Chains A and B, each alone.
Chain A
Amino acid sequence: MSIILDKVNYVYGAGTAYEAQALKNVSLKIEDGEFIGLIGHTGSGKSTLIQHLNGLIRAASGGIYYNGEDIYDRDYDMRGLRSKVGLVFQYPEHQLFETTIFEDVCFGPLNQGLSKKEAGVRAFEALNCVGIPEELYYQSPFDLSGGQKRRVAIAGVLAMKPEVLILDEPTAGLDPGGRDEILDQIAKMHREQGITVLLVSHCMEDIAKYVGRIIVMNQGEVLFDGAPEKVFEHYRELEAIGLGAPSVTNFLHGLLERGLPVNARAITVEAAKHEILEMIAERKRR
Protein backbone atom coordinates (compact mmCIF):
# COMPACT_ATOMS: atom_id res chain seq x y z
CA MET A 1 0.00 0.00 0.00
CA SER A 2 1.43 3.32 -1.01
CA ILE A 3 0.83 6.63 -2.69
CA ILE A 4 3.04 7.46 -5.62
CA LEU A 5 3.28 10.86 -7.27
CA ASP A 6 4.95 10.89 -10.63
CA LYS A 7 6.15 14.27 -11.94
CA VAL A 8 3.08 16.15 -10.81
CA ASN A 9 2.66 19.69 -12.09
CA TYR A 10 -0.05 22.13 -11.15
CA VAL A 11 -0.82 25.62 -12.37
CA TYR A 12 -3.35 27.97 -10.75
CA GLY A 13 -5.38 30.17 -13.06
CA ALA A 14 -4.05 28.60 -16.22
CA GLY A 15 -4.70 30.89 -19.16
CA THR A 16 -5.35 34.02 -17.11
CA ALA A 17 -3.24 36.99 -16.18
CA TYR A 18 -2.66 35.52 -12.74
CA GLU A 19 -1.13 32.24 -13.84
CA ALA A 20 1.05 30.71 -11.12
CA GLN A 21 2.83 27.40 -11.20
CA ALA A 22 2.28 25.95 -7.75
CA LEU A 23 3.88 22.52 -8.24
CA LYS A 24 6.84 21.64 -10.43
CA ASN A 25 7.62 18.03 -11.24
CA VAL A 26 6.87 16.69 -7.78
CA SER A 27 7.68 13.00 -7.47
CA LEU A 28 7.16 11.21 -4.17
CA LYS A 29 6.49 7.83 -2.74
CA ILE A 30 4.58 7.55 0.53
CA GLU A 31 4.72 4.12 2.11
CA ASP A 32 2.11 2.54 4.28
CA GLY A 33 2.39 3.46 7.97
CA GLU A 34 4.81 6.31 7.58
CA PHE A 35 4.64 9.47 9.68
CA ILE A 36 5.75 12.28 7.42
CA GLY A 37 6.23 15.98 7.99
CA LEU A 38 5.69 18.24 5.00
CA ILE A 39 7.46 21.51 5.54
CA GLY A 40 7.80 24.61 3.47
CA HIS A 41 7.65 28.35 3.53
CA THR A 42 4.34 30.16 3.02
CA GLY A 43 3.26 29.72 -0.59
CA SER A 44 5.63 26.83 -1.28
CA GLY A 45 2.78 24.61 -2.49
CA LYS A 46 2.12 22.37 0.53
CA SER A 47 -1.64 22.81 0.54
CA THR A 48 -1.75 22.40 -3.21
CA LEU A 49 0.23 19.19 -3.04
CA ILE A 50 -1.92 17.51 -0.42
CA GLN A 51 -5.14 18.34 -2.22
CA HIS A 52 -3.84 16.20 -5.06
CA LEU A 53 -3.57 13.21 -2.80
CA ASN A 54 -7.31 12.73 -2.50
CA GLY A 55 -8.15 14.00 -5.94
CA LEU A 56 -9.64 17.35 -4.94
CA ILE A 57 -7.55 19.07 -7.55
CA ARG A 58 -6.31 17.47 -10.68
CA ALA A 59 -2.70 17.64 -11.74
CA ALA A 60 -2.04 19.55 -14.96
CA SER A 61 0.37 16.78 -15.87
CA GLY A 62 1.86 13.75 -14.19
CA GLY A 63 0.28 10.79 -12.47
CA ILE A 64 -0.87 9.79 -8.99
CA TYR A 65 -1.21 6.16 -7.97
CA TYR A 66 -2.96 4.98 -4.83
CA ASN A 67 -2.09 1.37 -4.02
CA GLY A 68 -0.94 0.95 -7.59
CA GLU A 69 -4.13 2.26 -9.15
CA ASP A 70 -4.13 5.38 -11.28
CA ILE A 71 -6.55 7.78 -9.60
CA TYR A 72 -7.06 9.63 -12.86
CA ASP A 73 -8.46 6.52 -14.51
CA ARG A 74 -11.88 7.24 -15.93
CA ASP A 75 -13.62 4.71 -13.74
CA TYR A 76 -11.58 5.21 -10.59
CA ASP A 77 -13.76 5.52 -7.49
CA MET A 78 -12.88 9.06 -6.42
CA ARG A 79 -15.31 9.15 -3.50
CA GLY A 80 -13.86 5.91 -2.23
CA LEU A 81 -10.43 7.50 -2.36
CA ARG A 82 -11.67 10.46 -0.34
CA SER A 83 -12.87 8.23 2.43
CA LYS A 84 -9.53 6.39 2.48
CA VAL A 85 -7.41 9.52 2.37
CA GLY A 86 -8.75 11.86 5.05
CA LEU A 87 -7.81 15.48 4.59
CA VAL A 88 -8.07 18.08 7.33
CA PHE A 89 -7.88 21.48 5.69
CA GLN A 90 -6.02 24.51 6.88
CA TYR A 91 -8.39 26.34 9.26
CA PRO A 92 -10.93 23.51 9.13
CA GLU A 93 -13.17 25.25 11.65
CA HIS A 94 -14.74 27.20 8.79
CA GLN A 95 -16.39 24.10 7.40
CA LEU A 96 -18.66 23.37 10.37
CA PHE A 97 -22.34 23.68 9.52
CA GLU A 98 -24.59 21.34 11.53
CA THR A 99 -26.80 22.33 14.44
CA THR A 100 -24.83 20.25 16.92
CA ILE A 101 -21.24 19.21 17.19
CA PHE A 102 -22.18 15.56 17.24
CA GLU A 103 -24.16 15.76 14.01
CA ASP A 104 -21.38 17.67 12.33
CA VAL A 105 -18.90 14.91 13.09
CA CYS A 106 -21.44 12.35 11.82
CA PHE A 107 -21.51 14.06 8.40
CA GLY A 108 -18.48 12.22 7.02
CA PRO A 109 -19.41 8.71 8.20
CA LEU A 110 -22.99 9.16 6.95
CA ASN A 111 -21.64 10.15 3.54
CA GLN A 112 -19.65 6.94 3.59
CA GLY A 113 -22.93 5.09 3.75
CA LEU A 114 -22.80 4.02 7.38
CA SER A 115 -26.00 3.68 9.41
CA LYS A 116 -26.93 6.42 11.88
CA LYS A 117 -25.92 4.20 14.75
CA GLU A 118 -22.51 3.30 13.36
CA ALA A 119 -21.89 6.93 12.45
CA GLY A 120 -22.79 7.89 16.01
CA VAL A 121 -20.28 5.42 17.43
CA ARG A 122 -17.59 6.78 15.11
CA ALA A 123 -18.42 10.35 16.08
CA PHE A 124 -18.29 9.47 19.76
CA GLU A 125 -14.85 7.87 19.38
CA ALA A 126 -13.49 10.69 17.27
CA LEU A 127 -14.69 13.44 19.59
CA ASN A 128 -13.29 11.54 22.53
CA CYS A 129 -9.99 11.21 20.73
CA VAL A 130 -9.58 14.95 20.15
CA GLY A 131 -10.53 15.72 23.72
CA ILE A 132 -13.91 17.41 23.43
CA PRO A 133 -15.78 16.97 26.73
CA GLU A 134 -19.07 15.12 26.46
CA GLU A 135 -21.22 17.93 27.78
CA LEU A 136 -20.41 19.91 24.62
CA TYR A 137 -21.56 17.22 22.17
CA TYR A 138 -25.03 18.64 21.68
CA GLN A 139 -24.13 22.29 21.51
CA SER A 140 -23.89 24.37 18.39
CA PRO A 141 -20.43 24.21 16.85
CA PHE A 142 -20.58 27.96 16.33
CA ASP A 143 -20.52 28.61 20.07
CA LEU A 144 -17.13 26.98 20.60
CA SER A 145 -13.77 28.66 20.93
CA GLY A 146 -11.47 28.65 17.92
CA GLY A 147 -9.34 25.82 19.28
CA GLN A 148 -12.36 23.71 20.14
CA LYS A 149 -13.82 24.25 16.68
CA ARG A 150 -10.52 23.07 15.26
CA ARG A 151 -10.72 19.87 17.28
CA VAL A 152 -14.29 19.22 16.20
CA ALA A 153 -13.31 19.70 12.57
CA ILE A 154 -10.41 17.28 12.97
CA ALA A 155 -12.78 14.81 14.60
CA GLY A 156 -15.03 15.17 11.56
CA VAL A 157 -12.30 13.65 9.43
CA LEU A 158 -11.07 11.13 12.03
CA ALA A 159 -14.61 9.74 12.24
CA MET A 160 -14.26 8.56 8.67
CA LYS A 161 -11.44 6.23 9.79
CA PRO A 162 -9.13 7.03 6.90
CA GLU A 163 -6.14 4.85 6.01
CA VAL A 164 -4.10 7.93 5.34
CA LEU A 165 -4.58 11.04 7.45
CA ILE A 166 -3.40 14.36 6.09
CA LEU A 167 -3.47 17.43 8.30
CA ASP A 168 -2.78 20.89 6.92
CA GLU A 169 -1.25 22.95 9.73
CA PRO A 170 -3.56 21.52 12.38
CA THR A 171 -1.87 23.54 15.10
CA ALA A 172 -1.68 26.97 13.47
CA GLY A 173 -2.92 29.53 15.96
CA LEU A 174 -3.24 27.17 18.91
CA ASP A 175 -1.60 27.64 22.29
CA PRO A 176 1.47 25.45 23.00
CA GLY A 177 -0.55 23.19 25.32
CA GLY A 178 -3.30 22.60 22.78
CA ARG A 179 -0.73 22.12 20.06
CA ASP A 180 1.14 19.38 21.91
CA GLU A 181 -2.11 17.72 22.90
CA ILE A 182 -3.32 17.46 19.32
CA LEU A 183 0.04 16.33 17.97
CA ASP A 184 0.40 13.75 20.75
CA GLN A 185 -3.04 12.43 19.95
CA ILE A 186 -2.16 12.11 16.27
CA ALA A 187 1.12 10.37 17.10
CA LYS A 188 -0.79 7.97 19.32
CA MET A 189 -3.21 7.10 16.55
CA HIS A 190 -0.31 6.53 14.22
CA ARG A 191 1.29 4.19 16.73
CA GLU A 192 -1.80 2.31 17.76
CA GLN A 193 -3.86 2.13 14.58
CA GLY A 194 -0.96 2.12 12.17
CA ILE A 195 -2.43 4.78 9.89
CA THR A 196 -0.22 6.76 7.57
CA VAL A 197 0.05 10.38 8.64
CA LEU A 198 1.15 13.39 6.63
CA LEU A 199 1.53 16.47 8.77
CA VAL A 200 1.90 19.84 7.10
CA SER A 201 3.63 22.58 9.02
CA HIS A 202 6.03 25.41 8.59
CA CYS A 203 7.57 24.97 11.96
CA MET A 204 10.43 22.47 12.28
CA GLU A 205 10.38 22.21 16.06
CA ASP A 206 6.74 21.21 16.00
CA ILE A 207 7.20 18.11 13.99
CA ALA A 208 10.83 17.14 14.41
CA LYS A 209 10.08 15.02 17.42
CA TYR A 210 7.11 13.18 15.92
CA VAL A 211 7.89 12.35 12.32
CA GLY A 212 10.11 9.69 10.78
CA ARG A 213 10.59 11.52 7.53
CA ILE A 214 10.58 15.11 6.42
CA ILE A 215 9.77 16.48 3.00
CA VAL A 216 10.87 20.06 2.43
CA MET A 217 9.12 22.05 -0.28
CA ASN A 218 10.40 25.24 -1.80
CA GLN A 219 8.63 27.19 -4.53
CA GLY A 220 6.66 24.22 -5.73
CA GLU A 221 9.53 21.78 -5.74
CA VAL A 222 10.68 19.07 -3.35
CA LEU A 223 13.97 20.31 -1.99
CA PHE A 224 14.87 17.64 0.56
CA ASP A 225 13.27 14.35 1.43
CA GLY A 226 14.56 12.02 4.12
CA ALA A 227 14.97 11.25 7.80
CA PRO A 228 14.88 14.36 10.04
CA GLU A 229 18.58 14.10 11.00
CA LYS A 230 19.54 13.83 7.32
CA VAL A 231 17.38 16.78 6.33
CA PHE A 232 18.67 18.93 9.18
CA GLU A 233 22.22 18.42 8.00
CA HIS A 234 21.27 20.94 5.33
CA TYR A 235 20.52 23.49 8.01
CA ARG A 236 22.24 26.25 6.08
CA GLU A 237 20.17 25.72 2.97
CA LEU A 238 17.08 25.47 5.15
CA GLU A 239 17.90 28.80 6.70
CA ALA A 240 18.41 30.30 3.27
CA ILE A 241 14.80 29.46 2.35
CA GLY A 242 13.55 30.81 5.64
CA LEU A 243 12.93 27.58 7.52
CA GLY A 244 15.89 26.66 9.67
CA ALA A 245 16.44 23.49 11.64
CA PRO A 246 15.22 23.19 15.25
CA SER A 247 17.24 25.43 17.55
CA VAL A 248 18.88 22.46 19.28
CA THR A 249 20.26 21.29 15.95
CA ASN A 250 21.55 24.78 15.26
CA PHE A 251 23.08 24.88 18.71
CA LEU A 252 24.88 21.55 18.25
CA HIS A 253 26.18 22.60 14.85
CA GLY A 254 27.43 25.79 16.49
CA LEU A 255 29.35 23.75 19.08
CA LEU A 256 30.78 21.59 16.33
CA GLU A 257 31.96 24.61 14.38
CA ARG A 258 33.71 25.97 17.45
CA GLY A 259 35.69 22.76 17.70
CA LEU A 260 33.78 20.67 20.23
CA PRO A 261 33.52 17.09 18.93
CA VAL A 262 29.79 16.67 19.48
CA ASN A 263 27.46 14.53 17.43
CA ALA A 264 25.18 17.12 15.80
CA ARG A 265 22.45 14.76 14.66
CA ALA A 266 20.20 15.16 17.69
CA ILE A 267 16.90 16.85 16.96
CA THR A 268 15.24 17.00 20.36
CA VAL A 269 16.39 18.71 23.52
CA GLU A 270 16.69 15.42 25.41
CA ALA A 271 18.81 13.82 22.71
CA ALA A 272 20.97 16.93 22.53
CA LYS A 273 21.50 16.93 26.27
CA HIS A 274 22.49 13.30 26.05
CA GLU A 275 24.97 14.00 23.24
CA ILE A 276 26.56 16.90 25.09
CA LEU A 277 26.94 14.95 28.33
CA GLU A 278 28.42 12.11 26.32
CA MET A 279 30.91 14.46 24.73
CA ILE A 280 31.93 15.94 28.08
CA ALA A 281 32.37 12.49 29.61
CA GLU A 282 34.50 11.49 26.63
CA ARG A 283 36.73 14.50 27.09
CA LYS A 284 37.15 13.83 30.80
CA ARG A 285 38.15 10.28 30.06
CA ARG A 286 40.95 11.47 27.83
Chain B
Amino acid sequence: MTLCLSGGVGKGKRTGKSMIRDITIGQYYPGDSPIHRLDPRVKLFGTLIYIISLFIFKGVAAFVLAAIFLVAAIKLSGVPFFYMVKGLKAIVVLMVITGLFHLFFTQGTPLVSFGALTVTREGLKNAALMLVRLALLIIGTSLMTLTTTPNQLTDGLEKSLAPLSKIGIPVHEIAMMMSIALRFIPILIEETDKIMKAQAARGADFESGNIFRKVKAMIPLLIPLFVSAFRRANDLALAMEARCYRGGAGRTKMKPLCYRKCDYAAYAVLFLYLASMIALRFVWIRMSVFLEW
Protein backbone atom coordinates (compact mmCIF):
# COMPACT_ATOMS: atom_id res chain seq x y z
CA MET B 1 0.00 0.00 0.00
CA THR B 2 1.22 3.43 -0.72
CA LEU B 3 0.98 5.69 2.23
CA CYS B 4 2.17 9.21 1.64
CA LEU B 5 2.32 10.51 5.16
CA SER B 6 5.44 12.50 4.47
CA GLY B 7 4.49 15.98 5.42
CA GLY B 8 5.82 18.05 2.63
CA VAL B 9 8.58 18.89 0.31
CA GLY B 10 9.27 15.85 -1.82
CA LYS B 11 10.17 13.51 1.01
CA GLY B 12 10.56 9.80 0.45
CA LYS B 13 7.83 7.37 1.21
CA ARG B 14 7.66 5.63 4.56
CA THR B 15 9.75 2.53 4.56
CA GLY B 16 9.07 1.05 7.98
CA LYS B 17 5.73 -0.46 7.22
CA SER B 18 6.42 -1.64 3.73
CA MET B 19 9.22 -3.66 5.32
CA ILE B 20 6.69 -5.47 7.48
CA ARG B 21 4.70 -6.28 4.42
CA ASP B 22 7.69 -7.61 2.51
CA ILE B 23 8.35 -10.44 4.90
CA THR B 24 6.71 -13.40 3.26
CA ILE B 25 7.10 -15.76 6.18
CA GLY B 26 3.75 -16.01 7.86
CA GLN B 27 1.76 -14.83 4.87
CA TYR B 28 -0.74 -17.21 3.40
CA TYR B 29 -1.21 -17.37 -0.35
CA PRO B 30 -4.73 -18.66 -0.93
CA GLY B 31 -5.02 -21.57 -3.30
CA ASP B 32 -6.26 -25.10 -3.75
CA SER B 33 -3.21 -27.00 -4.92
CA PRO B 34 -2.21 -30.49 -3.74
CA ILE B 35 0.35 -28.79 -1.49
CA HIS B 36 -2.31 -26.54 0.02
CA ARG B 37 -4.49 -29.54 0.74
CA LEU B 38 -1.82 -31.58 2.51
CA ASP B 39 -2.18 -32.18 6.21
CA PRO B 40 -0.22 -29.46 8.05
CA ARG B 41 1.70 -32.13 9.94
CA VAL B 42 3.09 -33.46 6.66
CA LYS B 43 4.21 -29.98 5.72
CA LEU B 44 5.75 -29.29 9.11
CA PHE B 45 7.56 -32.59 9.15
CA GLY B 46 8.57 -32.18 5.51
CA THR B 47 10.02 -28.75 6.18
CA LEU B 48 11.92 -30.10 9.14
CA ILE B 49 13.36 -32.95 7.06
CA TYR B 50 14.21 -30.51 4.30
CA ILE B 51 16.07 -28.15 6.63
CA ILE B 52 17.99 -31.00 8.19
CA SER B 53 18.86 -32.38 4.79
CA LEU B 54 20.27 -29.00 3.78
CA PHE B 55 22.61 -28.99 6.70
CA ILE B 56 23.88 -32.54 6.97
CA PHE B 57 24.43 -33.30 3.33
CA LYS B 58 27.29 -31.92 1.33
CA GLY B 59 28.28 -31.77 -2.27
CA VAL B 60 26.98 -30.16 -5.39
CA ALA B 61 24.81 -33.09 -6.35
CA ALA B 62 22.93 -32.99 -3.04
CA PHE B 63 22.15 -29.32 -3.48
CA VAL B 64 21.03 -29.83 -7.03
CA LEU B 65 18.66 -32.53 -5.82
CA ALA B 66 17.43 -30.31 -2.98
CA ALA B 67 16.82 -27.46 -5.41
CA ILE B 68 14.98 -29.71 -7.86
CA PHE B 69 12.82 -31.05 -5.04
CA LEU B 70 11.96 -27.53 -3.94
CA VAL B 71 11.24 -26.25 -7.44
CA ALA B 72 8.96 -29.22 -8.07
CA ALA B 73 7.08 -28.51 -4.83
CA ILE B 74 6.73 -24.82 -5.74
CA LYS B 75 5.44 -25.70 -9.19
CA LEU B 76 2.93 -28.05 -7.63
CA SER B 77 1.77 -25.42 -5.12
CA GLY B 78 0.91 -22.89 -7.83
CA VAL B 79 2.28 -20.02 -5.77
CA PRO B 80 4.08 -17.59 -8.09
CA PHE B 81 7.83 -17.91 -7.73
CA PHE B 82 8.04 -14.18 -7.12
CA TYR B 83 6.41 -14.61 -3.66
CA MET B 84 9.07 -17.05 -2.58
CA VAL B 85 11.86 -14.72 -3.51
CA LYS B 86 10.18 -11.84 -1.68
CA GLY B 87 10.96 -13.63 1.58
CA LEU B 88 14.65 -13.52 0.66
CA LYS B 89 14.65 -9.74 0.50
CA ALA B 90 14.17 -9.53 4.24
CA ILE B 91 17.32 -11.52 4.98
CA VAL B 92 19.58 -10.10 2.28
CA VAL B 93 21.72 -8.38 4.91
CA LEU B 94 22.13 -11.59 6.86
CA MET B 95 23.06 -13.43 3.69
CA VAL B 96 25.66 -10.85 2.70
CA ILE B 97 27.29 -10.90 6.13
CA THR B 98 27.35 -14.71 6.24
CA GLY B 99 28.77 -14.82 2.74
CA LEU B 100 31.52 -12.34 3.56
CA PHE B 101 32.46 -14.18 6.74
CA HIS B 102 32.86 -17.44 4.92
CA LEU B 103 34.65 -15.77 2.06
CA PHE B 104 37.33 -14.12 4.15
CA PHE B 105 37.71 -16.25 7.24
CA THR B 106 38.17 -19.73 5.84
CA GLN B 107 41.68 -21.16 5.90
CA GLY B 108 43.00 -22.72 2.73
CA THR B 109 44.65 -22.04 -0.59
CA PRO B 110 44.70 -18.29 -1.19
CA LEU B 111 43.21 -16.97 -4.41
CA VAL B 112 43.30 -13.18 -4.11
CA SER B 113 43.97 -10.90 -1.19
CA PHE B 114 42.84 -7.39 -0.31
CA GLY B 115 45.26 -6.12 2.32
CA ALA B 116 44.77 -8.23 5.43
CA LEU B 117 41.82 -10.10 3.94
CA THR B 118 42.43 -13.13 1.83
CA VAL B 119 39.95 -14.99 -0.27
CA THR B 120 40.66 -18.69 -0.34
CA ARG B 121 39.42 -21.39 -2.60
CA GLU B 122 37.74 -23.10 0.30
CA GLY B 123 36.29 -19.78 1.41
CA LEU B 124 34.71 -19.20 -1.96
CA LYS B 125 33.27 -22.69 -1.95
CA ASN B 126 31.98 -22.38 1.58
CA ALA B 127 30.43 -18.97 0.95
CA ALA B 128 28.63 -20.23 -2.13
CA LEU B 129 27.39 -23.30 -0.31
CA MET B 130 26.19 -21.29 2.65
CA LEU B 131 24.30 -18.82 0.47
CA VAL B 132 22.60 -21.56 -1.48
CA ARG B 133 21.77 -23.29 1.78
CA LEU B 134 20.22 -20.15 3.29
CA ALA B 135 18.28 -19.36 0.15
CA LEU B 136 16.86 -22.88 -0.05
CA LEU B 137 16.07 -22.80 3.64
CA ILE B 138 14.12 -19.56 3.47
CA ILE B 139 12.32 -20.48 0.28
CA GLY B 140 11.50 -23.90 1.70
CA THR B 141 9.97 -22.49 4.88
CA SER B 142 8.21 -19.77 2.90
CA LEU B 143 6.61 -22.47 0.79
CA MET B 144 5.20 -24.04 3.94
CA THR B 145 3.86 -20.81 5.41
CA LEU B 146 2.52 -19.62 2.05
CA THR B 147 0.47 -22.76 1.58
CA THR B 148 -0.69 -23.30 5.18
CA THR B 149 -2.97 -20.97 7.09
CA PRO B 150 -1.68 -19.97 10.52
CA ASN B 151 -4.56 -21.87 12.07
CA GLN B 152 -3.71 -25.09 10.27
CA LEU B 153 -0.11 -24.59 11.27
CA THR B 154 -0.87 -24.30 14.96
CA ASP B 155 -3.29 -27.22 14.72
CA GLY B 156 -0.54 -29.26 13.16
CA LEU B 157 1.94 -28.22 15.83
CA GLU B 158 -0.52 -28.93 18.61
CA LYS B 159 -1.26 -32.39 17.36
CA SER B 160 2.38 -33.23 16.63
CA LEU B 161 3.51 -32.07 20.05
CA ALA B 162 0.53 -33.53 21.93
CA PRO B 163 2.66 -36.25 23.58
CA LEU B 164 4.56 -33.49 25.40
CA SER B 165 1.45 -32.63 27.40
CA LYS B 166 1.99 -35.92 29.24
CA ILE B 167 5.06 -34.42 30.88
CA GLY B 168 3.18 -31.31 31.90
CA ILE B 169 3.89 -28.95 29.00
CA PRO B 170 0.70 -26.99 28.20
CA VAL B 171 0.80 -27.72 24.49
CA HIS B 172 -2.77 -26.70 23.80
CA GLU B 173 -2.42 -23.37 25.59
CA ILE B 174 0.81 -22.57 23.77
CA ALA B 175 -0.80 -23.42 20.44
CA MET B 176 -3.82 -21.27 21.28
CA MET B 177 -1.62 -18.33 22.22
CA MET B 178 0.28 -18.74 18.99
CA SER B 179 -2.80 -18.76 16.82
CA ILE B 180 -4.25 -15.73 18.60
CA ALA B 181 -0.97 -13.86 18.27
CA LEU B 182 -0.78 -14.74 14.58
CA ARG B 183 -4.35 -13.65 14.06
CA PHE B 184 -3.71 -10.32 15.73
CA ILE B 185 -0.71 -9.33 13.65
CA PRO B 186 -2.62 -8.25 10.52
CA ILE B 187 -5.32 -6.64 12.67
CA LEU B 188 -2.76 -4.56 14.52
CA ILE B 189 -1.01 -3.58 11.31
CA GLU B 190 -4.31 -2.42 9.87
CA GLU B 191 -5.17 -0.59 13.08
CA THR B 192 -1.79 1.15 13.08
CA ASP B 193 -2.38 2.22 9.53
CA LYS B 194 -5.81 3.62 10.38
CA ILE B 195 -4.75 5.51 13.49
CA MET B 196 -1.71 6.88 11.73
CA LYS B 197 -3.90 8.25 8.98
CA ALA B 198 -6.42 9.65 11.44
CA GLN B 199 -3.70 11.51 13.34
CA ALA B 200 -2.06 12.66 10.13
CA ALA B 201 -5.43 14.13 9.18
CA ARG B 202 -5.16 16.16 12.39
CA GLY B 203 -1.76 17.41 11.32
CA ALA B 204 0.45 14.91 13.17
CA ASP B 205 3.90 14.57 11.71
CA PHE B 206 5.67 11.26 12.26
CA GLU B 207 8.69 12.03 10.16
CA SER B 208 10.55 15.24 10.78
CA GLY B 209 12.64 16.30 13.73
CA ASN B 210 15.29 14.56 15.78
CA ILE B 211 14.88 11.25 17.56
CA PHE B 212 13.25 12.77 20.66
CA ARG B 213 10.67 14.58 18.61
CA LYS B 214 9.99 11.44 16.66
CA VAL B 215 9.48 9.40 19.81
CA LYS B 216 7.17 12.06 21.15
CA ALA B 217 5.29 12.09 17.87
CA MET B 218 4.60 8.38 18.35
CA ILE B 219 2.49 8.98 21.46
CA PRO B 220 -0.69 9.84 19.54
CA LEU B 221 -0.17 6.61 17.63
CA LEU B 222 0.83 4.27 20.43
CA ILE B 223 -1.77 5.16 23.03
CA PRO B 224 -4.81 4.51 20.81
CA LEU B 225 -3.07 1.39 19.53
CA PHE B 226 -2.54 -0.01 23.02
CA VAL B 227 -6.02 0.97 24.08
CA SER B 228 -7.48 -0.84 21.12
CA ALA B 229 -5.23 -3.88 21.58
CA PHE B 230 -6.32 -4.20 25.21
CA ARG B 231 -9.93 -3.68 24.27
CA ARG B 232 -9.69 -6.38 21.62
CA ALA B 233 -7.93 -8.76 24.00
CA ASN B 234 -10.63 -8.15 26.58
CA ASP B 235 -13.42 -8.69 24.09
CA LEU B 236 -11.81 -11.85 22.85
CA ALA B 237 -11.36 -13.25 26.35
CA LEU B 238 -14.97 -12.46 27.12
CA ALA B 239 -16.19 -14.01 23.87
CA MET B 240 -14.18 -17.15 24.52
CA GLU B 241 -15.44 -17.49 28.06
CA ALA B 242 -18.99 -16.84 26.93
CA ARG B 243 -18.58 -19.92 24.76
CA CYS B 244 -17.32 -21.93 27.70
CA TYR B 245 -13.68 -22.08 26.69
CA ARG B 246 -11.74 -23.64 29.56
CA GLY B 247 -8.50 -24.67 27.98
CA GLY B 248 -7.43 -27.87 26.32
CA ALA B 249 -8.68 -30.66 28.59
CA GLY B 250 -11.49 -32.65 26.97
CA ARG B 251 -11.75 -30.27 24.07
CA THR B 252 -12.57 -31.69 20.65
CA LYS B 253 -11.89 -30.12 17.29
CA MET B 254 -14.31 -28.94 14.67
CA LYS B 255 -11.94 -30.06 11.94
CA PRO B 256 -9.88 -32.86 13.43
CA LEU B 257 -6.70 -33.52 11.56
CA CYS B 258 -6.53 -36.94 9.99
CA TYR B 259 -4.25 -38.31 7.35
CA ARG B 260 -5.60 -39.09 3.92
CA LYS B 261 -4.16 -41.08 1.05
CA CYS B 262 -2.35 -38.12 -0.46
CA ASP B 263 -0.69 -37.42 2.89
CA TYR B 264 0.76 -40.92 2.98
CA ALA B 265 1.88 -40.44 -0.61
CA ALA B 266 3.58 -37.19 0.43
CA TYR B 267 5.35 -39.01 3.26
CA ALA B 268 6.51 -41.58 0.73
CA VAL B 269 7.89 -38.84 -1.51
CA LEU B 270 9.66 -37.27 1.45
CA PHE B 271 11.13 -40.60 2.40
CA LEU B 272 12.27 -41.10 -1.18
CA TYR B 273 13.91 -37.69 -1.12
CA LEU B 274 15.69 -38.47 2.11
CA ALA B 275 16.83 -41.84 0.79
CA SER B 276 18.22 -40.33 -2.38
CA MET B 277 20.03 -37.68 -0.36
CA ILE B 278 21.62 -40.41 1.76
CA ALA B 279 22.47 -42.40 -1.34
CA LEU B 280 23.98 -39.33 -2.93
CA ARG B 281 26.11 -38.77 0.12
CA PHE B 282 27.63 -42.23 -0.13
CA VAL B 283 28.20 -41.81 -3.83
CA TRP B 284 29.82 -38.45 -3.14
CA ILE B 285 32.16 -39.86 -0.50
CA ARG B 286 33.09 -42.67 -2.83
CA MET B 287 33.69 -40.21 -5.61
CA SER B 288 35.84 -37.89 -3.55
CA VAL B 289 37.85 -40.85 -2.28
CA PHE B 290 38.17 -41.97 -5.84
CA LEU B 291 39.20 -38.49 -7.00
CA GLU B 292 41.78 -38.10 -4.27
CA TRP B 293 43.12 -41.46 -4.97
Q: Chain A interface (Cβ within 8 Å of chain B)? A: 12-14, 16-17, 51, 54-58, 60, 74-75, 77-79, 82-83, 86-87, 89, 92, 94-97, 107-108, 111-112, 142, 156-157, 160
Given A95-B198, A111-B202; A75-B4 close (CB under 8 Å) = no
Q: Chain B interface (Cβ within 8 Å of chain A)? A: 1-10, 21, 29-30, 83, 191, 194-195, 197-205, 219-220, 223-224, 227-228
A95 near B4 with CB under 8 A, answer no
Given A74-B10, A75-B10, A157-B202; A96-B224 close (CB under 8 Å) = yes
B224 near A82 with CB under 8 A, answer no
A78 near B219 with CB under 8 A, answer no
A139 to B3, CA, bound (A): 34
B8 to chain A: which residues have CB within 8 Å?
Answer: 77-79
A89 near B201 with CB under 8 A, answer yes
Closest residue on chain B to residue A157 by CB atoms: B202
Sampled A-B contacts (17; CB under 8 Å):
A12-B1, A57-B1, A57-B3, A57-B4, A74-B9, A74-B10, A94-B194, A94-B227, A95-B202, A96-B224, A97-B220, A108-B202, A111-B202, A111-B204, A112-B203, A157-B201, A157-B202
A5 to B147, CA, bound (A): 40
A191 to B9, CA, bound (A): 35
Q: A94-B195, A111-B204 are in contact. List 10 more A-B contacts (CB 8 A).
A: A54-B201, A56-B3, A57-B2, A75-B9, A78-B6, A86-B201, A95-B195, A95-B202, A107-B203, A111-B203
A13 to chain B: which residues have CB within 8 Å?
Answer: 1
Given A13-B1, A17-B30, A78-B8; A51-B197 close (CB under 8 Å) = yes
A142 to chain B: which residues have CB within 8 Å?
Answer: 227
Given A17-B30, A57-B2; A79-B205 close (CB under 8 Å) = yes
Closest residue on chain B to residue A162 by CB atoms: B201
A92 to B194, CA, bound (A): 10
B29 to chain A: which residues have CB within 8 Å?
Answer: 17
A112 to B7, CA, bound (A): 12
A77 to B9, CA, bound (A): 7
A56 near B197 with CB under 8 A, answer yes
B201 near A58 with CB under 8 A, answer no
In the complex, how many angstroms separate the beta carbon of B227 from the nearest chain A beta carbon? 7
A107 near B220 with CB under 8 A, answer yes
Given A17-B29, A86-B201; A78-B220 close (CB under 8 Å) = no
A78 near B4 with CB under 8 A, answer yes
Closest residue on chain A to residue B7 by CB atoms: A79
B205 to chain A: which residues have CB within 8 Å?
Answer: 79, 111
Query: What 6 A-B pairs have minimum CB-CB distances, sorted nearest first?
Result: A111-B203, A97-B223, A95-B198, A108-B202, A87-B201, A74-B10
B200 to chain A: which residues have CB within 8 Å?
Answer: 56, 82
Partner of A89, one of B4, B194, B204: B194
A94 near B228 with CB under 8 A, answer yes
A74 to chain B: which residues have CB within 8 Å?
Answer: 9-10
A7 to B279, CA, bound (A): 62
A58 near B4 with CB under 8 A, answer yes
